[in-house]
């Protein structure tokens, strides 16, 4: 058994639940490749980038404007940021923010797969997510996996099918998974990784158009497969029915409203093949604002530009597999998020270099500086840019 398969077998023992929605008419037929072979990969750690420690210039404190808009839309329940230190009672472990209702911390985080093509933008609900992971899907396009715990938007999407990375993310964050199914090549690997659990639930009935009681529903304003959206409230109700709406064990991150030393940085450009993702720091709000190429990316629910308190650039090995994802012949990519690798953390207009580290335990994904100490994130939401070890430019200034 390869290192990755041993790792997944161990990690799968602690996976509490995965909710996979197999969409009717998802529009993603994908024949299984001939002579399919299991993925066999070996992780090789690499050298982390060296940061340039500098004392950052004091920055204005964030305003409450963007948060007030989300609260008015009924999508935000987080309250003020706590004092620095370990995650305590009534604190969201994914944001470091005190929650208004502690009961929400007893439910299971939801990971929802969201498309990122021109025919689905602007997407809905991304600014309500605690964490969003952006990664290569296949070919040159990217896709998102968005995590929700305290916020409960009733329209997230559009929702698309899972990829190989979605075997790892539910284990990292100890979360449930909601997507519109998988390709025939990914499905057996996902089942094998979770084979030690007998409570994996797959839902194939998505319900009708604008379904009021379904975890996901289709809208009449777009053509399939781009008209599928998730309802987090209904998804948690579905978890309740199956007895799997249980808290996450994730406690890997630390938060501090006071930024550590770092290199002053106000612009991040991640050169994905489908178009450069640009994050510009806004001192007035204390947030990073997202654009694709030179066009602002907007959340359709609030009409605000997508923002993040923290942006993580996570370098990990990317391996093209034999799995065929669509009728064009595009092959699935295995992003090897185990072991460790280079990391760049951006918060408060500064950059801190270091390493990410993940072991076999459920809920482990450490963010470490060059001295091996945990890098504190700014209380708030986090956007993770997954990038290959090479063949991609990440420029800052």
Digit-coded pLDDT (tens) for 333-342: 999 999 999 9
For residue 25, how many other CB atoms are within 10 A of its CB?
12
- Quote the CA–CA distance of 339 and 384 in Å, as a whole number: 17
Residue 72's H or E segment, with its range, is helix 65-72
| 3-396 to CATH, choices 3.30.420.40, 3.50.90.10, 3.30.465.10, 3.55.50.30 | 3.50.90.10
User: 186 phi and psi, to 5 degrees?
Assistant: -80, -35
Q: What is the mean pLDDT of the chain?
A: 79
Segment 129-158 shows an average pLDDT of: 94
Question: Measured between alpha carbons, how far apart are the two ends of the chain, in Å?
Answer: 44
| Predicted TM-score of the model (pTM) | 0.81
Q: How confident is the model at residue 379 (pLDDT cuts 50, 70, 90)?
A: very high
Predicted confidence (pLDDT) at residue 47 exceeds the cutoff of 60? no
Residue 209: what pLDDT? 72
Residue 180: what pLDDT? 85
Place of tokens 């409230």: 233
Place of tokens 């992780």: 43
- Quote the CA–CA distance of 241 and 102 in Å, as a whole number: 21
Residue 195: what pLDDT? 60
Predicted confidence (pLDDT) at residue 264 exceeds the cutoff of 70? yes
Query: How many helical (H) and strand (E) elements, i.e. helices and strands, does the chain have?
Result: 5, 25
- Quote the CA–CA distance of 163 and 178 in Å, as a whole number: 12
Place of tokens 């994130």: 377
Q: How confident is the model at residue 221 (pLDDT cuts 50, 70, 90)?
A: confident
* Residue 167 or 290, more confident: 290
Segment 43-50 shows an average pLDDT of: 31
Predicted confidence (pLDDT) at residue 91 exceeds the cutoff of 50? yes
Contact call for residues 26 and 161 (beta carbons, < 8 A): yes
Token pair of 71 as six digits: 């609260």
DSSP string of 108-167, one letter each residue: PPEEEEE--STTTPSPBSGGG-SEEEEEE-BTT-EEEEEEESS---S-EE-B----THHH
Residue 10's H or E segment, with its range, is helix 3-12
Segment 135-139 shows an average pLDDT of: 88
User: 187 phi and psi, to 5 degrees?
Assistant: -55, -50
Residue 197: what pLDDT? 53
User: 3 phi and psi, to 5 degrees?
Assistant: -60, -45
Predicted confidence (pLDDT) at residue 33 exceeds the cutoff of 70? no
Place of tokens 């979605």: 166
Q: How confident is the model at residue 385 (pLDDT cuts 50, 70, 90)?
A: very high
**The pairing of beta strand 382-387 with beta strand 131-136:** parallel
User: 226 phi and psi, to 5 degrees?
Assistant: -85, 5
* Residue 20 or 62, more confident: 20
Give residue-wise pLDDT tens across range 4-28.
Answer: 444 444 343 334 444 544 433 333 3
Q: How confident is the model at residue 156 (pLDDT cuts 50, 70, 90)?
A: very high
Predicted confidence (pLDDT) at residue 260 exceeds the cutoff of 80? yes
- Return the minimum-mean-pLDDT range out of 70-74, 143-147, 286-290, 374-378: 70-74
Give residue-wise pLDDT tens across range 294-326.
Answer: 899 999 999 999 999 999 999 999 999 888 887
User: 71 phi and psi, to 5 degrees?
Assistant: -65, -40
Residue 312: what pLDDT? 98
- Quote the CA–CA distance of 80 and 69 in Å, as a whole number: 16
> What is the rounded (10 degree) CA torsion for 137, 143, 145, 150?
180
| Three-state secondary structure call for residue 95 | coil
Residue 11: what pLDDT? 40
Residue 194: what pLDDT? 66
- Return the minimum-mean-pLDDT range out of 90-104, 157-171, 208-222: 208-222
């Amino acid at each position: 058994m390869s290192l990755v398969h041993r790792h997944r077998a161990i990690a799968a023992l602690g996976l509490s639940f995965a909710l996979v929605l197999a969409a009717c008419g998802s529009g993603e037929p994908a024949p299984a490749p001939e002579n399919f072979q299991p993925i066999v990969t070996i992780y090789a750690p690499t050298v982390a980038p060296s940061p340039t420690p500098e004392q950052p210039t004091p920055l204005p404190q964030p305003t409450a404007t963007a948060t007030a808009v989300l609260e008015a839309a009924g999508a935000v329940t987080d309250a003020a940021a706590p004092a620095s230190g370990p995650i305590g009672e009534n604190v969201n472990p994914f944001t470091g923010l005190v929650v208004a209702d502690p009961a929400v911390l007893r439910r299971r985080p939801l990971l929802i797969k969201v498309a990122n093509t021109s025919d689905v933008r602007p997407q809905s609900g991304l600014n309500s997510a605690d964490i969003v992971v952006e990664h290569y899907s296949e070919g040159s396009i990217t896709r998102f996996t968005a995590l929700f715990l305290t916020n409960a938007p009733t329209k997230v999407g559009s929702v698309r099918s899972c990829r190989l990375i979605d075997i790892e993310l539910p284990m990292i964050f100890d979360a449930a998974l909601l997507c519109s199914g998988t390709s025939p090549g990914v499905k057996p690997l996902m089942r094998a990784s979770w084979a030690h659990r007998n409570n994996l639930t797959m839902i194939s009935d998505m319900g009708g158009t604008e379904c009021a009681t379904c975890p996901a529903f289709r809208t009449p304003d777009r053509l399939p497969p781009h008209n599928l959206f998730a309802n987090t409230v209904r998804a948690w109700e579905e978890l309740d029915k199956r007895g799997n709406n249980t808290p996450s064990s994730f406690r890997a991150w630390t938060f501090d409203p006071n930024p550590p030393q770092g290199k002053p940085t106000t612009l991040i450009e991640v050169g994905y093949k489908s178009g450069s993702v640009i994050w510009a720091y806004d001192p007035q709000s204390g947030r990073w604002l997202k654009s694709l190429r030179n066009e602002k990316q907007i959340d359709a629910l609030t009409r605000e530009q997508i923002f993040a308190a923290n942006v993580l650039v996570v370098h990990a090995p990317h391996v093209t597999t034999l799995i065929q994802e669509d009728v064009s012949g595009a092959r699935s990519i295995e992003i090897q998020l185990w072991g460790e690798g280079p990391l760049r953390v951006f918060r408060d207009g500064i950059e801190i270099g270091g390493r990410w580290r993940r072991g076999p335990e459920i809920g482990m994904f450490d963010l470490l500086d060059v001295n091996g100490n945990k890098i504190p994130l700014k209380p708030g939401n986090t956007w993770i840019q997954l990038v290959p070890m090479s063949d991609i430019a990440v420029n800052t200034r």
